[in-house]
Amino acid sequence: MEQLVPDLRLHALSFLDYSSVCRLSMTNSLLYRAANEEILWKTIYLKDFSLEQANVTPANGWKAYYAATLAIVNINAEFFRIVKERSHTAMSQFWLNAGYVKCFLATGESFTGYNQVMESWRATFNQENANYFQIRDVRTHVLTDMAWVTVKAYSNMERAYNVTNIYELCDGRWYMVHHHSLAALIHGGADQQFL
pTM above 0.75, yes or no: yes
Q: What percent of the chain has pLDDT over 70?
A: 90
Report the chain's C-alpha Rg in angstroms.
20
Identify the residue with better confidence: 128 or 82. 82
Q: How many residues does the chain have?
A: 195
Mean pLDDT, range 119-132, rounded to an integer: 81
- Check whether 126 has a pLDDT greater than 70: yes
Domains defined for the chain, CATH in brackets? 55-194 (3.10.450.50)
Q: Which is more confidently placed, 128 or 189?
A: 128
For the chain, report the end-to-end CA distance as a whole number of angstroms.
53
